[in-house]
Amino acid sequence: MPTQTVWIDPERLLKHHGVQVFQTYKDDDYDQGARRYTFTLDPQCGEGGSRCEDQPCQHLFDVRELSTWRPPQQPPFCTGANDTPENHAAWNEYFEREQEAIRTAIAAAIERAELTTSAWLPPAQENKANPASVPENESPTSPE
Ligand SMILES: [Zn+2]
């Protein structure tokens, strides 16, 4: 018996300033559930970006890589003495707060034009460079 793949639109997480953000799915399979942290700016462009018309694909992004990502503080892991109903409840609460943090980070990234209708534009690498990598006592570039 033949099987048929039916394409369906991904669920939209949010729309902000005209930029739409959609869920992605494990193996592009809706039934396997939405990815928690990976989203796409193009509903046609799912996991891996391999079917994307733009190569390399710039529609996919991981919310944890946005400069605006501020995760809530995690409770202790549910192991050993921490494997308590209270701690499980704390984790459920955490995941709800994390959902809010995801929306907040994406909206803020759109406002910074880090996310646009067509691409994720990560902040320039030099912004992330650690200034402490230059020894403090030396100033080889100071023009004296
Ligand atoms: Zn794409």
Task: Tell me the backbone φ, ψ of residue 140, rounded to 5 degrees.
Answer: -65, -20
Query: Is the model's pLDDT at 132 over the cut of 50?
Result: no
Ligand 1 mean position, distance from CA 6 (Å): 20
Tell me the per-residue pLDDT of 40-90, one tens digit each, with 9 for 90 and over.
999 888 876 667 888 888 999 999 999 999 999 999 999 999 999 999 999
Ligand 1 mean position, distance from CA 132 (Å): 36
Separation CA 92–CA 49 (nearest Å): 31
First vs last C-alpha separation in the chain: 81
Query: Is the model's pLDDT at 135 over the cut of 90?
Result: no
Ligand 1 mean position, distance from CA 56 (Å): 8
74 lies in some domain: yes
Ligand 1 mean position, distance from CA 41 (Å): 8
Query: Is the model's pLDDT at 91 over the cut of 90?
Result: yes
What's the domain count of the chain? 1
Kindly give the residue spans of alpha helices, DSSP state H, lying in the chain: 85-111
92 lies in some domain: yes
Tell me the per-residue pLDDT of 10-35, one tens digit each, with 9 for 90 and over.
899 999 999 999 999 988 888 888 99
Q: Which of 37 and 138 is assigned the larger pLDDT?
A: 37
96 lies in some domain: yes
Report pTM.
Answer: 0.77
Q: Which two tokens stand for residue 23?
A: 């869920």
| Residue 129: pLDDT band with limits 50, 70, 90 | very low
128 lies in some domain: no
Q: Given this model, what pLDDT does residue 62 score? A: 95
Range of the domain at 97: 12-122
Q: Given this model, what pLDDT does residue 44 score? A: 86
Yes or no: say if 72 and 98 are a contact pair by the CB < 8 Å rule.
yes
Q: What is the largest CA-CA distance in the chain?
A: 81
42 lies in some domain: yes
